[in-house]
Amino acid sequence: MNTPPIETDRLILRRFTKLDIPALFRLLSDRDVNTFLPWFPLETMEEAESFYRHRFEKSYSRPHGYNYAVCLKSDNIPIGCVNVGMEEAHDLGYGLSREFWHNGIMTEACRAVIDLLRMDGFPFITATHDINNPRSGGVMRNIGMKYMYTYQERVQPKDTLVFFRMYQLDLDGRHSGPYMGYWNTFHNHFIEADL
């Protein structure tokens, strides 16, 4: 099943629905939340509806997809999101409403998704974070990911140059060496010795 629901001690991870568009707007219109996300903060409910259609409905129409709304069990209203790309890098991404930061929620949500990915036979996942957002790297380390290298990319649509740290987690015990796609694509890359 595409995006099966998951429960953890505190959370329900499930598909976004049209009823979640107001919660999605609250999350993605927050400038602090969006500082390190690739898109601009949403300005209107219409933009939230469009984001829902293009990002989530499209994903859910495919045979495989991991685009989760992160909800507290107490009310089942989205406070964040976790997704895994279906491209070669299997990139893990996440975002969380500001009032829930520093409570281990993203670590808990990502661990649950990783357990599913392992059962579904994913060989590995990657994740990247802006070097100016070290707390995101903390989540990556908390879920067992290892730093591999740093590279510079021009991020769209914000059109800004960003140094990203790339982390990786092998899931099948057979994958050897880092995923080199970002390294080979972006010429300004290096390994930070003190990480």
CATH of the domain at 86: 3.40.630.30
Residue 1 lies inside a defined structural domain of this protein? no
Residue 195 lies inside a defined structural domain of this protein? no
Residue 73 lies inside a defined structural domain of this protein? yes
Residue-wise burial string across 67-92, b where 16 or more C-beta atoms lie within 10 A, e elsewhere: bbbbbeeeeeebbbbbbbbeeebbbb
Omega prior to 123 cis, within 30 of 0: no
Position 194 confidence tier, pLDDT thresholds 50, 70, 90: confident
Q: How many domains does the chain have?
A: 1
Residue 170 lies inside a defined structural domain of this protein? yes
Residue 152 lies inside a defined structural domain of this protein? yes
Position 174 confidence tier, pLDDT thresholds 50, 70, 90: confident
Q: What angle do CA 16, 24, 117 make, to 5 degrees?
A: 45
pLDDT in tens, 15-32: 999 999 999 999 999 999
pLDDT of residue 120: 92
Residue 88 lies inside a defined structural domain of this protein? yes
pLDDT of residue 61: 83
pLDDT in tens, 30-88: 999 989 988 899 999 999 999 999 989 888 887 777 999 999 999 999 999 999 999 99
Q: Is the dihedral of CA 33, 73, 56, 150 positive or negative?
A: positive
Enter the pTM of the model.
Answer: 0.93
Q: If you average pLDDT over residues 142-169, what whole number do you get?
A: 96
Q: Residue 164's domain spans which residues?
A: 6-190
